[in-house]
Amino acid sequence: MSIRRLMLVSLIGTMTLVMCVAGWFSYRAGLQEAGEMFDAKLAHSARVLVSLVDQPLDDLTAHGPTEPVTINVWHGAAQGVGDALAFPTGHAYETKLAFQVRDDNGTLLLRSDSGPDSQIAPLTPGYRDVRIDGEQWRTFTLKAPSGRWFQAGEVSDIREELAGDIAFGTLLPLLVALPLMMVLVWLIVTWALRDLLSVTRQIEQRSPENLTPLASDRVPREVRGVVHAVDALMSRLDAALKRERRFTADAAHELRTPIAALKVHADNLATSRDGGERAESQEMLQRSVARVERLVSQMLSLSRADESAGLRASVPVDLDQVVRQQVSEYSDAAGKRGIGLELRSAPAQLVGDPIALEAMVRNLIDNAVRYSPNGGRVRVSLSDEREMMRLDVEDSGPGIPEEARERVFNRFHRELGTGVEGNGLGLAIVKNVLALHGGRVRLSSSADLGGLHVVAEMPR
């Protein structure tokens, strides 16, 4: 269900419910007020009847028992309300009122013809609710000083009719105004949601390539947070798409040369004439395959470690274990070239992405081993310095000139004259992983080994 429909149904339904509840309370209040008024009238009528009839009845009964006297009331049409029930000769509700007078023994002395012949209530003072001939009556009984009982009663539906008239009179203006209020609520809700509908149309009409922020200057305050969240999401999506496009372009560009070389070596292997050419072509083919494999692996690591992508995982990582594992994996390659691979490690744990941290350590050790000459040395040190983890990787290779130490962090940048095959991605991966973990990297010359000294620092 839409917000607009929900608001309309809720508001109109609430107004209708409130009117019904107000009508019920109005009816109950009217019934109570009518009851109090009619009770007072019954007591007043009984007292007036005592003052007017009690003394004449002494004269009437002085000569012995007589037939009860019947007072005739006016019987007219009982239709309509208000003035429609009043006539010059009487009122239509007279038939709903009755009175009786009885002596101390309960003998009927005087009655109105609008009431029953039987006793309308027990001969005890006060109010009573009784049922006579299927109708509910409200009565009041009063004992005169002479000992006679004076009883006044009325049919209870008079009170209910009056209460209904009061409630209807209260609700009638509201019921008449309800359609107008519905129209006003519809207009107000439509006007209040116009800017939200405008934002909805903006999103619906946009092309997939348009990820610019939405116009939120006239958006209601309650929805502005949603619009800003959508803008932030589109901004992240735009950055992700740009990152993927750049990765695709870089991959297409960088893989073209090694794949072409791979094809050439495969052709040479297929057309080689003797065992010597075949062995040489096979060796070159294997080297090309290894280069392509390493390039693809590094590019995937770079894509994962892109600082704009954010951490994929954030869990406790035993960095000491990661460093030891990578040193162990490169010990064979270093041993074949007579390179001494030294490890100085201490227990160190931090919260981060384990796969990204592993890629960083692997690239640092790989660069140090590949750029060190045969018989050289590589030293890997991990230490815990208060709130920072520090990883030092030193080698005895040619190092990097000071003026080139900023350039080497660019993707696919390689310094000329090193004599070592590479893709120019290792240090870019290291920088991005450290940026993801709030760390930093510094390059300098190793005082002990003479080559490059890389310092990677990360907070816990």
With a cut of 70, say whether residue 86 has pLDDT above it: no
- Give me the mean pLDDT over the 354-377 stretch: 86
pLDDT of residue 67: 65
- Give me the mean pLDDT over the 85-103 stretch: 64
pLDDT of residue 392: 92
Which pair of structure tokens corresponds to residue 230?
Answer: 């959508």
Q: Where are the beta strands (DSSP E) in 22-91?
A: 69-71, 86-87, 90-91
pLDDT tens for 174-212 read: 778 888 888 888 888 888 777 777 777 777 777 777 777
pLDDT of residue 402: 82
- Give me the mean pLDDT over the 255-283 stretch: 74
Between CA 389 and CA 72 the distance in angstroms is: 112
Contact at 8 Å (CB) between 136 and 157? Answer: yes
- Residue 372 makes CB contacts below 8 A (sequence gap 6+) with 334, 337, 339, 378, 395, 396, 397, 451
Of the listed ranges 121-130, 179-188, 286-295, the least confidently predicted one is: 286-295
pLDDT band at residue 300, thresholds of 50, 70 and 90? low
Higher-scoring residue by pLDDT: 394, 62: 394
Range from 22-31, 234-243, 396-405 that averages highest in pLDDT: 396-405
pLDDT band at residue 76, thresholds of 50, 70 and 90? low
pLDDT tens for 216-242 read: 666 667 677 777 788 788 887 777 777
Between CA 302 and CA 363 the distance in angstroms is: 11
Higher-scoring residue by pLDDT: 70, 266: 266
Between CA 397 and CA 86 the distance in angstroms is: 121
- Give me the mean pLDDT over the 73-93 stretch: 49
pLDDT of residue 295: 63
pLDDT of residue 290: 73
DSSP states of 74-132: P-----SSGGGGEETTEEGGGGGEEEEEE-TT--EEEEETTS-SS-SS-SSSEEEEEEE
pLDDT of residue 409: 74
Higher-scoring residue by pLDDT: 224, 5: 5
CB atoms within 10 A of CB 397: 24
- Residue 239 makes CB contacts below 8 A (sequence gap 6+) with 308
Higher-scoring residue by pLDDT: 277, 61: 277
In percent, how much of the chain has pLDDT > 90? 5
Q: Is 147 helix (H, G, I), strand (E, B) or coil?
A: coil
pLDDT of residue 87: 46
Range from 225-234, 258-267, 374-383, 424-433 that averages highest in pLDDT: 374-383
pLDDT of residue 378: 92
With a cut of 80, say whether residue 8 has pLDDT above it: yes
Contact at 8 Å (CB) between 69 and 53? Answer: no
Mean pLDDT (the chain) is 77
What pTM was estimated for this model as a whole? 0.45
Strands across the sheet containing 377-385: 340-345, 377-385, 388-395, 452-459, 440-445
pLDDT of residue 394: 92
DSSP 8-state symbol, 397: S
pLDDT band at residue 294, thresholds of 50, 70 and 90? low
From residue 41, alpha-carbon distances to 28, 36, 141, 187, 210 in Å are 20, 9, 13, 51, 81
Contact at 8 Å (CB) between 262 and 292? Answer: yes
Over its C-alpha atoms, the chain yields an Rg (Å, rounded) of 52
pLDDT of residue 90: 45
pLDDT tens for 144-164 read: 888 889 998 888 887 777 777
pLDDT of residue 73: 54
pLDDT tens for 437-459 read: 888 888 999 888 888 999 999 88
Contact at 8 Å (CB) between 15 and 188? Answer: no
